[in-house]
Copies of this chain bind each other. A is one copy, B any other.
Amino acid sequence: MGLREFFEPESIAVIGASREENKPGHVIFRLLKENRDNGTLKAKVYPVNPKAKELLGEPCYPSIGDIPDKVSLAVIVVPAPIVPKVIEDCGKKGVKSAIVISAGFSEVGNRRLEEELLTKARKYGIRILGPNCIGVLNPWTGVDTIFLPYFKVLKNGRKLLSTPRPKPGHIAFLSQSGAFATAAMDYMAGEKLGLRALVSYGNKADVDEADLIEYFGSDEKTRTILMYIESLERGRKVIEVASKVTLRKPIVALKAGRTKAGVRAAASHTAALAGVDEIYEAAFRKAGIIRAYDMEQLFDLAKALSMQPPAKGGRVAIVTDGGGAGVMTTDECELNGLIVPELTGEDREKLEKLKKEKIIPQFASLRNPIDLTGSATSEMYVESIEILMESKNIDLIIVLALHQVPGIEDPIELAEQVVKIQREYNFSKPIVAVDTGWSEAAVCTRETFDEGLIPSYSTPERAARVAAALYRYGNYLRKKGELENYLKKWHPAI
């Protein structure tokens, strides 16, 4: 059985739908009902609770067997000891997919209870997500078992948006940690990253990373697969599956437990052995999995890899209106394995011609970075970037558009122009952008870039690091003899 029902079910039963407002079983049912009522969720939703006749105005069923309809997904939020019995009920009802939210299994040493759950599930051919997880968020279909309300009401009565959901998008995020997954939701929503689906798989008694990579690897809407990992049990299988998927789409992994103390911390957390980091490093490299080394990078890379094609080589050109930022970008590019070559030959001649024609300033530096100085205008950027798009010596472009300089009169127009060039050239080379600061101008400029599928960042170094990842991924595909084929099939995620 596949995993489709976890993400696109036709009907959902919430088993353990509680009347108590703060209980996960209540929140899950409420959010699903709200999504159904507002049209986001197309599936039917049934609360199961033997103690209630109705819940939030919906009739409640004593057990799943009483629901007068086919159920394609069961969300189980009952105390751990009775989960096996509930699975048995699900099996009899013909349910084939169940998310077990309930905790109290192998993560606290109850391995036998988890075994029992699994035996029941196998008996009826039910795929299990969890136990001890927060389940699934699919913003495309409205499936949302994340039992954290959008808002918190503080003790003084103030109501604060607390756990926003990211918009629909193309990043599939697989997280071993539920808390990290929810923190990530807030982070992604703020960074305006779109989610194909988020999956927290907890103890992974049944469905694990290998299954999920395979599923999202074949899913058309998924552009990038993101993973937060502490341990891999079926390591070989994961690598085998990932090796195939990375020929079609990028996988980015943040593996925690890199140090001895980190491994100990991970063991306390999930009762799983994080293992020697070098082995993971080598395995990831072999499978073409791009490794992120911190939380910020994980999402930075996801954004870039979802928007831009991999680079054909590691030669970067930098166009800037700030000399200092140009130097910082150059440093970080070179430190991350990219080359910032001095521009020579035809490229240089074309740029010198712009100078002669007074299109770019006399005191602009053309060696790379191309420093258009504080007198930079949109036109100068356009002319320079077009030369770089045509260049045979450049594989990747970083545009530093620090909006504060006086020359950039309309930074949003500048971003629009860069977006336009990238489309005219059909994304033939990746472009990454930077504008720093958090003023309205900075935020709007970055949003314009992002909406035009040019990933933008708030510091030079973040952009340089994602540029390096675009190169590393392209290099991996090239070594596998797949780069041309990949680029032929690649199209912007519009």
Contact A186 B436 (CB under 8 A): yes
- Which of B176, B262, B328, B368 meets A330, CB within 8 Å? B262
Stretch at the interface among A237-245, A385-393, A401-409: A401-409
Stretch at the interface among A47-55, A84-92, A252-260, A479-487: A252-260
B residues in contact with A108, CB < 8 Å: 363
Contact B295 A459 (CB under 8 A): yes
Stretch at the interface among A12-20, A30-38, A331-339, A419-427: A331-339
- Which of B152, B190, B294, B374 meets A461, CB within 8 Å? B294
Cα A225 to Cα B152 in complex, Å, equals 39
B residues in contact with A295, CB < 8 Å: 328, 436, 459-461
Contact B404 A334 (CB under 8 A): no
- Which of B189, B363, B369, B462 meets A296, CB within 8 Å? B462
Stretch at the interface among A118-126, A137-145, A301-309, A410-418: A410-418
A173-199 CB contact bits vs B (8 Å, 1 = yes)?
A: 001111110111111011100000000
Q: Restricting to A311-349, which residues have a CB under 8 Å from any CB of B?
A: 318, 321-328, 330-335, 339-340, 342
Chain B minimum-CB-distance residue to A436:
B183
Q: Does A162 contact B (CB under 8 A)?
A: yes
Given contacts A322-B177, A404-B186, contact A191 B334 (CB under 8 A): no
Contact B152 A411 (CB under 8 A): yes
- Which of B163, B412, B437 meets A439, CB within 8 Å? B163
Given contacts A187-B438, A190-B438, contact A406 B266 (CB under 8 A): no
Cα A160 to Cα B441 in complex, Å, equals 6
Q: Does A440 contact B (CB under 8 A)?
A: yes
Q: Does A354 contact B (CB under 8 A)?
A: no
Q: Does A268 contact B (CB under 8 A)?
A: yes
Copies in the complex: 2
Q: Does A230 contact B (CB under 8 A)?
A: yes
Contact B334 A261 (CB under 8 A): yes
Give chain B nearest CB distance to A35 CB in angstroms: 19
Q: Does A167 contact B (CB under 8 A)?
A: no
Chain B minimum-CB-distance residue to A465:
B294
Q: Does A428 contact B (CB under 8 A)?
A: no
Most buried by B among A330, A331, A334: A331
Given contacts A259-B335, A371-B269, contact A189 B439 (CB under 8 A): yes
A271-286 CB contact bits vs B (8 Å, 1 = yes)?
A: 0001000000000000
Q: Does A216 contact B (CB under 8 A)?
A: no
Give chain B nearest CB distance to A276 CB in angstroms: 14
Contact A268 B365 (CB under 8 A): yes
Q: Does A265 contact B (CB under 8 A)?
A: yes
Q: How many residues of A contact B (CB 8 A)?
A: 96
Given contacts A186-B437, A190-B438, A323-B270, contact A160 B461 (CB under 8 A): no
Chain B minimum-CB-distance residue to A334:
B259
Contact A328 B163 (CB under 8 A): no
Contact A182 B404 (CB under 8 A): yes
Give chain B nearest CB distance to A373 CB in angstroms: 8
Contact A187 B437 (CB under 8 A): yes
Contact B330 A265 (CB under 8 A): yes
Given contacts A179-B404, A321-B179, A331-B258, contact A154 B438 (CB under 8 A): no
Q: Does A40 contact B (CB under 8 A)?
A: no
Q: Does A45 contact B (CB under 8 A)?
A: no
Contact A439 B183 (CB under 8 A): no
B residues in contact with A190, CB < 8 Å: 437-439, 442
Cα A182 to Cα B402 in complex, Å, equals 9
Give chain B nearest CB distance to A309 CB in angstroms: 24
Q: Restricting to A353-387, which residues have a CB under 8 Å from any CB of B?
A: 363, 365, 367-369, 371, 374
18 CB-based A-B contacts, threshold 8 Å? A148-B404, A163-B404, A164-B437, A177-B325, A179-B323, A179-B324, A179-B404, A180-B322, A180-B328, A186-B404, A186-B436, A259-B334, A261-B330, A261-B331, A262-B331, A265-B330, A295-B436, A296-B458
| Other 12 A-B pairs with CB < 8 A, given A152-B403, A190-B442, A264-B342 | A147-B406, A154-B410, A160-B444, A180-B325, A183-B325, A183-B402, A254-B328, A256-B328, A259-B331, A260-B334, A265-B318, A268-B371
